Amino acid sequence: QSALTQPASVSGSPGQSITISCTGASSDVGGYNYVSWYQQHPGKAPRLMIYDVSNRPSGVSNRFSGSKSGNTASLTISGLQAEDEAHYYCSSYTSSARGVFGGGTNLTVL
Amino acid sequence: QVQLVQSGAEVKKPGASVKVSCKASGYTFTDHYIHWVRQAPGQGLEWIGWIKPNNGATNYAQNFQDWVTMTRDTSISTAYMELTRLRSDDTALYYCARGPLWPRFDSWGQGTLVTVSS
């Protein structure tokens, strides 16, 4: 199972919006509504930000939103803030009842 | 509150085995899968596999199938992951995480650093 494809880095200024893509295949992202997104700050465990494509866990800001079209899922962060600077990873369920992560995206807030 | 507490850091020689534990509390252990994820230094997340605590069923990523074993002890709400024939590129932080069958991880352990070095 190959890793899902994410851009290595994205950047934006405070207050702006950014979108991170996560591209897979019909056997993972495109086949199931089981895409999650995680935020990871240096030295910390990942934190669940979006689950099942577009749902936010309790406590996650509504500035974070998720969507999916075909084999590509997206995470959008609006109103960028300094504390959003982190690595972001997508994950998906696969046809073999396994999981797979994206390679990760480093978000820089300029 | 939900907590996953992992065992401490390990240093192993190439070819050795390591067994990492993950003790769950704050919820019914058998109601959720335990997944294992690793992160090599400066690298991304890699899914290793899951165990279903209520019956011990497992499913491993293809890359790990021949050298990982996941088990559990429901009497103490603890999951285990054993890696055999360790190599230097197995040096990583190993996390356990709670979720359903699919990778939706709402709670993570603190991570266990496994260092493989001669």
Chain A residue closest in CA terms to B113: A43
Q: Do B37 and A101 touch (CB under 8 A)?
A: yes
Q: Tens digits of per-residue pLDDT, A87-105?
A: 999 999 999 999 999 999 9
Instruction: Identify the pLDDT of residue A80.
Output: 97
Q: Is A89 helix (H, G, I), strand (E, B) or coil?
A: strand
d(CA B26, CA B46): 26
Instruction: Identify the pLDDT of residue A90.
Output: 98
Instruction: Identify the pLDDT of residue B87.
Output: 96
Instruction: Identify the pLDDT of residue A2.
Output: 80
Buried b (16+ CB within 10 A) or exposed e, A20-54: bbbbbbebbbbebebbbbbbbeeeebbbbbbbbbb
d(CA B79, CA A78): 38
User: H/E element holding A86?
Assistant: strand A86-93
Instruction: Identify the pLDDT of residue B46.
Output: 97
Chain A residue closest in CA terms to B4: A45
Q: Is A84 helix (H, G, I), strand (E, B) or coil?
A: helix
Chain A residue closest in CA terms to B42: A42
Q: Do B45 and A101 touch (CB under 8 A)?
A: yes
Q: Chain B interface residues facing chain A, Cβ-Cβ under 8 Å?
A: 35, 37, 44-47, 49-50, 59-62, 95, 101-106, 108-111
Q: Do A93 and B102 touch (CB under 8 A)?
A: yes
Strand partners, B115: B11
Kindly report the backbone phi and psi dihedral angles of residue B29, in degrees, each rounded to the nearest multiple of 5, phi listed first: -55, -40
Report whether pLDDT(A73) > 90: yes
Q: Do B44 and A103 touch (CB under 8 A)?
A: yes
Instruction: Point out the residue among B37, B47, B104 whose CB comes nearest to the CB of A98.
Output: B47
Q: Is B29 helix (H, G, I), strand (E, B) or coil?
A: helix
- Regions of chain B with pLDDT less than 70: none
The whole-chain average pLDDT of chain A stands at: 96
Strand partners, B118: none
Radius of gyration of chain B, Cα coordinates, nearest whole angstrom: 13
Residue A48 with chain B: CB contacts under 8 Å: 104-106
Tally of CB atoms within 10 A around B56: 11
Q: Do B47 and A34 touch (CB under 8 A)?
A: no
**Cβ atoms of A59 and A48 closer than 8 Å:** no
Q: Tens digits of per-residue pLDDT, A1-55?
A: 689 999 999 999 999 999 999 999 999 999 999 999 999 999 999 999 999 999 9
Instruction: Identify the pLDDT of residue A70.
Output: 97
Tally of CB atoms within 10 A around B3: 13
